[in-house]
Chains A and B, each alone.
Chain A
Amino acid sequence: MKFEKRIKKTLVNDADMFMRARKQDILSKDFLDSVRAQQPLRNKREFVPVKRVLAAVMVAVLVICSVIFVPLSLRDNGFSVIDQGSTDSGSRPNLPVINDPVFEPSQWVGEADTPYAIINIGEISSDTIRLSQNGVLQNYVKVEGEVIASYNTEKFDINNSSLSGADVTESKVVAFNNIREFYITEQSIELIEGLDAIFVNVVKMNMDGKFYYGPVTNDQGIAEFLPVVEGKLQINENDYNTRSFLSIKILNDTLDELMDYRDRGGEETEFTKALPSKKIMNGVSTDEVDLYFKAWNCAKKINATNRRTSEIPT
């Protein structure tokens, strides 16, 4: 298995080197110029509204026909719709139109209804510890941090009885919101340098039969963990000890897209009502962050049931 990993690494490194070396030739100026020349003169998105209008007209015609002819056909049979006392007065949920191209936040992190937290980054120390990540030893750097806002993390409160099995006698175990330090791999440290705060998605982790809490992976490939698991990491396969984070910029970009959706005429819904007006930054109150999470959570629920696919050009 070790050999296989080494082979993989060698092949991947060689291939990376190869691709880097060929980049200038493949993406040459001539090539880019020719691609520019081939680019459609008008973006077809501009035609989408025209298609929409046509579709809307067709639907409208269909609806009008239905309104006129259905009652007539029913009356022919001696049956009146009005007499039925219909109460169908439009109480359907007012969800955003899923196929509306403006409802497309480019980043969805984690699942709906999971807890979130924002951690203010303090000093990045020179202290490192060596721990295993999926069986590979790595250096982790200690980073001071403070939980400045959290959502739904009460289930991770150390005093919460639902945290059965937690090692409450372990001196390092603290309530989630009181965490003041965490660790991140050396390779990833440059990713948080210059950032004021990061966002984490929190889960309960099973470590050696005991439950701890930490940020959930968001598949960004960035490992971090909270100090409560120090010395507890397991080498077992499929034991996801390492966790990830996102920069607040990505969150704010997503917020921009959500607000863009609302501003472009998204119907008033629980989701649009919840959208906050401020971006996430230092100084934003916990209540405001809370609003953001609620909106995001709501949007994710909608997104989760409506995965988008693109037509593949042949």
Chain B
Amino acid sequence: MSNNFKVNYVCNKAIIGIARGNIDALSDVYDSIGKQVYFIAYSVLKNHHDAEDVLQKVLCEIVKCAHTYKPMSNARAWILSIARNQALKYLRDKKMHISLDDIENDPQFSYDVSFISNMTLFDALNSLTDDERQVVLLHIESEMKFREIADFLCITSDAAQKRYQRAIKKLKAYYSN
């Protein structure tokens, strides 16, 4: 909650700055909400390269549309909505839904894995099903509430919570080994 307020404040200032031509303010947007955007994209696309592409598209979109942003509206929600729309658009454009198996066999993915080979994050997340990973990413990394996740994934809030609990159990088992 407190973090979201801070994100809102920083993003609000940054978007106003961007609208006035200060492109460098994108760095503030990246630092404050880049991770949330990235993991929303990743939860939809399940591919690091695509998620990064979407993150860049979102940043571009912010620059293009900063003048339409009304200061003091919810900057975080505004950006996350752009992220969601961009991720879905990206997915539509590709006209396919990449499964985790596809990603793992994708040579591009191996580049990413080598890049983050010192991190257990993605290994741990790969121990989850697609549905569970989505909920975990949205709840923990994108800091969305279960209600927001439910809206995002078109499921009930209870279902989102149950998936999350299941995922946490699996992660517990993963880290115990």
- A interface list, Cβ under 8 A from B: 3-4, 7-8, 10-12, 14-19, 21-23, 25-27, 31-32, 35-36, 38-40, 43-45, 101, 104-108, 217-221, 244, 303, 307-314
Q: Report 21 cross-chain contacts, Cβ distance below 8 Å, ordered by A residue.
A: A7-B171, A7-B172, A10-B175, A11-B121, A15-B121, A18-B116, A22-B52, A25-B52, A27-B30, A39-B63, A40-B64, A101-B70, A106-B9, A218-B5, A219-B5, A221-B3, A221-B5, A310-B74, A310-B78, A313-B61, A314-B85
Quick one: CB contact mask for B96-129 with A, threshold 8 Å, 1 for yes? 0000000000000000000110011100110000
A219-B5 Cα distance, complex, nearest whole Å: 6
User: 4 tightest CB-CB pairs across the interface, nearest first?
Assistant: A219-B5, A14-B121, A221-B2, A310-B73
Q: What residues of chain A lie closer than 8 Å to B120, measured between beta carbons?
A: 10, 14
From A31, A106, A244, give the contact of B13 (CB < 8 A). A106
Q: What residues of chain B lie closer than 8 Å to A218, measured between beta carbons?
A: 5
A3-B171 Cα distance, complex, nearest whole Å: 10
From A21, A108, A244, give the contact of B72 (CB < 8 A). A108
A219 touches B6 (CB 8 A): yes
A35-B55 Cα distance, complex, nearest whole Å: 13
Cβ distance B165 to chain A, nearest Cβ, rounded Å = 9
Residue of A nearest to B35 (CB): A19
Extra contacts besides A12-B141, A15-B121, A43-B20 (19): CB < 8 Å: A8-B140, A11-B124, A14-B120, A14-B121, A15-B35, A22-B52, A23-B27, A26-B34, A35-B23, A35-B60, A45-B19, A106-B71, A106-B72, A219-B1, A219-B6, A221-B3, A221-B5, A221-B6, A310-B78
A308 touches B70 (CB 8 A): yes
> B40 at interface (Cβ–Cβ under 8 A)?
no
B140 touches A11 (CB 8 A): yes
Q: What residues of chain B lie closer than 8 Å to A14, measured between beta carbons?
A: 119-121
B119 touches A18 (CB 8 A): yes
A39 touches B85 (CB 8 A): no
A310 touches B69 (CB 8 A): yes
Known: A40-B64, A218-B5, A309-B73. A27 touches B39 (CB 8 A): no
B56 touches A104 (CB 8 A): no
> B163 at interface (Cβ–Cβ under 8 A)?
no
Quick one: CB contact mask for B162-177 with A, threshold 8 Å, 1 for yes? 0000001001100100
A244-B9 Cα distance, complex, nearest whole Å: 15
A219 touches B2 (CB 8 A): yes
Q: Could you tell me how many residues of chain B have their Cβ less than 8 Å away from some Cβ of chain A? A: 58
Q: What residues of chain A lie closer than 8 Å to B73, measured between beta carbons?
A: 307-310
A107-B24 Cα distance, complex, nearest whole Å: 22
B172 touches A43 (CB 8 A): no
B56 touches A26 (CB 8 A): yes
> B45 at interface (Cβ–Cβ under 8 A)?
no
Q: What residues of chain B lie closer than 8 Å to A308, measured between beta carbons?
A: 70-73
Q: What residues of chain B lie closer than 8 Å to A4, measured between beta carbons?
A: 168
From A15, A19, A25, A36, give the contact of B23 (CB < 8 A). A36
Q: What residues of chain A lie closer than 8 Å to B24, measured between beta carbons?
A: 32
Q: What residues of chain A lie closer than 8 Å to B82, measured between beta carbons?
A: 312-313
Q: What residues of chain A lie closer than 8 Å to B71, measured between beta carbons?
A: 101, 104, 106, 308
Residues of B43-82 contacting chain A, CB below 8 A: 52, 55-56, 59-61, 63-65, 67-74, 78, 81-82
> B136 at interface (Cβ–Cβ under 8 A)?
yes
A312 touches B30 (CB 8 A): no
From B1, B39, B78, give the contact of A15 (CB < 8 A). B39
> B12 at interface (Cβ–Cβ under 8 A)?
yes
Residue of B nearest to A303 (CB): B72
> B38 at interface (Cβ–Cβ under 8 A)?
yes
Known: A26-B56, A220-B2. A106 touches B12 (CB 8 A): yes
Cβ distance B168 to chain A, nearest Cβ, rounded Å = 5
Q: What residues of chain B lie closer than 8 Å to A19, measured between beta carbons?
A: 30, 34-35, 38
A105 touches B19 (CB 8 A): no
- Report which residue of A8, A15, A303 has the largest number of chain B beta carbons within 10 angstroms of its beta carbon: A15
A310-B1 Cα distance, complex, nearest whole Å: 21
Q: What residues of chain B lie closer than 8 Å to A16, measured between beta carbons?
A: 35
B78 touches A45 (CB 8 A): no
